[in-house]
Structure 1
Amino acid sequence: MAEPRHRYSTVSLILHWLIAALVVTQIGLIAGHELTEGPMSREFIGAHKSVGLSILVLTLARLGWRIANPALPLPEAMPRWEKLLARGTHVLFYVFLIAMPLVGWAASSAAGRDIVWFGLFQWPLLPVGGGREMAGNLMDVHELAGKLLIALVILHVAGALKHHFITRDNVLHRMLPFIRRRP
Structure 2
Amino acid sequence: MSLSNSSARYGSLAKLFHWLTALGIFIMIPLGITANNAPSGNEAELAWKVQLFSAHKTLGIAVLVLAVIRIAWMLTQPKPAPLHPERKLETLAAETVHILLYGSLILVPISGWIEHAATTGFAPILWPLGQSLPFVPQSPALAETMAGAHIVLERVLVISLFLHIAGALKHAFVDRDQTLARMLPGQADIPETEVTKHANLPIVLALVAWVAAFGVAVNLGVFDHGPAQSAELEQVDTDWQVQTGELGLTIQQFGKPVTGAFETWTAAITYDETLPDGKIGTVEVTVSIGSVSIGSVTSQALGADYFDNAQFPTATFTADILRTEGAHRADGTLNLRGASLPLSFPFDLKLDGDSATMTASFALNRQDFGIGANMQDEGQLANTVDVNVALTATR
- Distance apart, 1:130 and its partner CA: 5.5
Could you tell me which residue of structure 2 aligns to residue 55 of structure 1?
63
**CA distance in 1: counterparts of 2:84 and 2:8, whole angstroms:** 14
After TM superposition, list the pairs within 5 Å mapping 1:12-161 onto structure 2. 12-33=14-35, 34-37=37-40, 38-113=46-121, 117-118=125-126, 120-123=127-130, 125-126=132-133, 127-129=135-137, 131-161=139-169
Aligned residues between the structures? 179
* Residues 163-172 or 28-37, more deviating: 28-37
Report deviation, 1:177. 3.3
Structure 1 letter corresponding to 2:159: A
- Residues in 1 aligned to 2:166 and 2:9: alpha-carbon distance in whole angstroms: 20
1:103-127, Cα deviation, whole Å (9 max, x unpaired): 1111111114588553x51325222
Structure 1 Cα separation of the partners of residues 10 and 187 of structure 2: 13
Report the AA paired with residue 149 of structure 2: V
Residue range with higher mean Cα deviation, 124-133 or 43-52: 124-133
Alignment-mate amino acid for residue 25 of structure 1 = I
More strand by share: 2
CA RMSD of aligned residues (A): 2.3
Q: Which amino acid aligns with 1:157?
A: I
Classify the secondary structure of the residue corresponding to 1:154: helix
List runs of 5+ in structure 1 lacking aligned partners.
none
Deviation at 1:90, TM superposition (A): 1.1
Confirm or deny: 8 A CA contact 2:53 2:123 kept in the other structure. no
Select between 103-112 and 150-159 the one with higher mean Cα deviation: 103-112
Q: Which has the higher contact order (CA 8 A, sep 6+)?
A: 1
Q: Deviations over 1:25-59 (max 9, x none)?
A: 11221132122421111111111111111111101
- 5+ residue gaps, structure 2: 1-5, 41-45, 192-395
| Higher share of residues assigned helix | 1
Partners of 2:65 and 2:118 in 1: CA distance: 21
Of the structure 1 ranges 127-136 and 22-31, higher mean CA displacement relative to structure 2 is found in 127-136
Is the 8 Å Cα contact of residues 101 and 157 (structure 2) preserved in structure 1?
yes
| Structure 2 counterpart of 1:129, one-letter code | P
Secondary structure of the corresponding residue to residue 129 of structure 2? strand
Alpha-carbon distance between aligned partners in 1 of 2:91 and 2:78, rounded to the nearest angstrom: 15
Q: d(CA) in 1 for partners of 2:89 and 2:28?
A: 32
- Which residue identity does 1:30 align to in structure 2? G
User: Structure 2 CA distance, aligned partners of 1:181 and 1:157?
Assistant: 22
Contact kept in structure 2, 1:52 and 1:101, CA below 8 Å: yes
Give the distance between the partners of 1:77 and 1:168, measured in 2 at CA: 16
User: Once the 2 structures are TM-superposed, how far is the Cα of residue 180 of structure 1 from its aligned partner?
Assistant: 6.7
In the other structure, the counterpart of 2:246 is none
Note the alpha carbon deviations across 1:119-157, whole angstroms, 9 max, x for none.
x51325222226222211111110121112111111000
After TM superposition, the structure 1 stretch with the greater mean CA deviation from structure 2, 70-79 or 14-23, is 70-79
Bigger drift between 103-112 and 172-181 goes to: 172-181
Relative to structure 1, is the Cα distance of residues 10 and 114 closer, same or farther in structure 2, using a 3 angstrom cutoff?
A: farther
What TM-score, normalized by structure 2, do the two folds share? 0.42
Q: Is contact 2:117–2:138 with CA below 8 Å preserved after alignment?
A: no
Amino acid at match of 1:35: A
Distance in 2 (CA, whole Å) between partners of 1:25 and 1:142 is 17
What percent identity do the matched residue pairs reach?
A: 29
Q: Please, what TM-score do these two structures have when normalized by structure 1?
A: 0.87
The SS at the match of 2:67 is helix
- Three-state SS of the structure 2 residue aligned to 1:123 is coil
| TM-superposed deviation, 1:81 | 0.6
